[in-house]
Amino acid sequence: MFLTINPTDKQRYDQVAVQNFQEYLRIPSVQPDIDYDECVKFIQKLANDIGLPCKVIYPKPKRPIVVVTLEGTDPTLPSILLNGHMDVVPVFADKWTQKPFGAEIVDGKIYGRGTQDMKSISIQYMETIRRIKDSGKRLKRTLHCSFVPDEEIGGVLGMAEFVKTEDFKNMNIGFALDEGIASVNDSYTLFKGEKCMWHLKFHCPGQPGHGCLLHENTAAEKVRVILDKIYDHREVQKNKLKQNPDLTLADVITLNATIIKGGVQANVLADEHTITVDVRMPYTVDADGFWATLQSWCKEAGQGVWIEKLIFDSITQPTTLDSSNIYWTAIETTMHKLNIRVSPLIFPGVTDSRYLRRLGIPALGLSLINNTPILLHDHDEYIRKDTFLRAIEIYTDLIPAVANA
């Protein structure tokens, strides 16, 4: 059944958009081990409501990719992908002043996990498509709105697998929009690229024995060297930022020891300690050279120290933002017309866009959330209702411009 709305009844469109947003927020698609069925059913219902075909693909079991399509007048042209992930990160419910999956509106703010990251954006895409479709206007290029799983745990079983499928190839994607980050001021932040992420586990094996002895070659001594190296390097990067106000997190290598493990008992020397490290590198870094540096740290730390590669992404070049990119030109022109300032940056984290950029598909990260504190992954995540609705108005100009490029 279609939902019929009088195309001039803006209030009704806004009401429907907020209701659908709340419904999506109330699905606790929270990591880990998500059952995505409820999300799939919700999206199918929403697509049906708008009157659009909806396809569900399973590149991996229990990891559905849902694609809702608005066909263009020239389906032979490369299409536009509007991508969003269905999963959200866990919450510390006792630290929230509102229910994390209640989607309650308090003082004009919609609270809930996913209000910024990024259920808001997926609903905005869908409600924009509803408005375009109902207006009777046809766009040149086909629009695909995709809902993908597991972005919050690296997209390994989500977007990374999706891009390998025939379904994906057949979509012939020319350009993609995906998530960004909220902006605390009037402008919007747009991401043209991302840093490169490595998750590494340093294994520091050592001589076991009694804790009362002074053995040589113990695991903890090696841990000490590795930690010193990491934190000395970190200090250098911090100073770089301090000394040059033009630099941002995107310009430096960040290293953090996030998990340190090992040992069985207080009076037993461990046979191994491990240090898990989160590494983020600018796309300008010589990754091979940095890998060689890490190897030299292992050597210096002592006998048998080695690195396990948990995630070892390759450097991905950012999307080019000049006149050669017709989609960017369309966005720039539209934003100028709407008198909206966007500042293109490099994302300090990673998103699913990297899987697209690697295939040479231009992709931009844009969350149309301004004048809002950055609360992704934080307690009391919210978006103002008027900010949420304003974004749909902007997309109603922006998405047709891109689709007609």
Query: Six-digit token pair at 190?
Result: 């747009």
Smallest separation, CB 347 to Zn ion (Å): 10
Amino acid in the structure at residue 270: A
Q: Which is nearer to Zn ion, 118 or 219 (CB)?
A: 118
Closest CA to 132 of 376, 397, 404, 366: 397
CA–CA separation, 99 and 140 (whole Å): 42
Please tell me whether residue 34 binds Zn ion under the rule CB under 5 A: no
Q: Which is nearer to Zn ion, 81 or 118 (CB)?
A: 118
Please tell me whether residue 118 binds Zn ion under the rule CB under 5 A: yes
Is 138 in contact with 405 (CB distance < 8 Å)? no
Is 140 in contact with 77 (CB distance < 8 Å)? yes
Please tell me whether residue 117 binds Zn ion under the rule CB under 5 A: yes
Please tell me whether residue 389 binds Zn ion under the rule CB under 5 A: no
> Which residues, 190 to 219, sit near Zn ion by CB under 5 A?
none
Alpha carbon distances (Å) from 8 to 19, 34, 394: 19, 39, 17
Annotated active-site residue 87? The verdict is yes
Amino acid in the structure at residue 289: G
Is 81 in contact with 399 (CB distance < 8 Å)? no
Please tell me whether residue 405 binds Zn ion under the rule CB under 5 A: no
Residue 104 backbone phi and psi in degrees, to 5: -80, 150
Nearest position to Zn ion, beta carbon: 117
Q: Which is nearer to Zn ion, 113 or 273 (CB)?
A: 113
Smallest separation, CB 191 to Zn ion (Å): 12
> Which residues, 128 to 157, sit near Zn ion by CB under 5 A?
none
Q: What is the DSSP letter of 217?
A: S
- Number of Cβ within 10 Å of residue 99's Cβ equals 14
Q: Give the number of residues written for the chain.
A: 405
Is 370 in contact with 116 (CB distance < 8 Å)? no
User: Contacts with Zn ion: how many residues (CB under 5 A)?
Assistant: 3
Smallest separation, CB 266 to Zn ion (Å): 42
Q: Which is nearer to Zn ion, 139 or 190 (CB)?
A: 190
Q: Which stretch binds Zn ion (CB under 5 A): 29-37, 161-169, 177-185, 204-212?
A: 177-185
Annotated active-site residue 397? The verdict is no
Q: Which stretch binds Zn ion (CB under 5 A): 129-137, 160-168, 173-181, 366-374?
A: 173-181
Q: Which is nearer to Zn ion, 102 or 349 (CB)?
A: 349
Question: Going by C-beta distance under 8 Å and a sequence separation of 6 or more, which residues neighbour residue 71?
Answer: 142
Is 262 in contact with 273 (CB distance < 8 Å)? yes
Q: Which is nearer to Zn ion, 117 or 150 (CB)?
A: 117
Q: Which is nearer to Zn ion, 103 or 307 (CB)?
A: 103
Residue 11 backbone phi and psi in degrees, to 5: -60, -40
Residue 259 Cα to chain centre, angstroms: 22
Q: Which stretch binds Zn ion (CB under 5 A): 49-57, 73-81, 118-126, 239-247?
A: 118-126
Q: Which stretch binds Zn ion (CB under 5 A): 109-117, 157-165, 324-332, 355-363?
A: 109-117
Which one of 127, 151, 152, 332 is the catalytic residue?
151
Query: Six-digit token pair at 90?
Result: 């866990």
Q: Which is nearer to Zn ion, 120 or 274 (CB)?
A: 120
Please name the residue that has the structure tokens 């930022």: 241
Q: Which stretch binds Zn ion (CB under 5 A): 92-100, 111-119, 170-178, 262-270?
A: 111-119
Closest CA to 156 of 146, 164, 144, 168: 164
Q: Which stretch binds Zn ion (CB under 5 A): 42-50, 101-109, 174-182, 330-338?
A: 174-182
CA–CA separation, 343 and 340 (whole Å): 10
The pairing of strands 363-366 and 173-178 is parallel
CA–CA separation, 248 and 405 (whole Å): 32
Catalytic sites, residue numbers: 87, 151
Contact residues: Zn ion, CB under 5 A: 117-118, 179
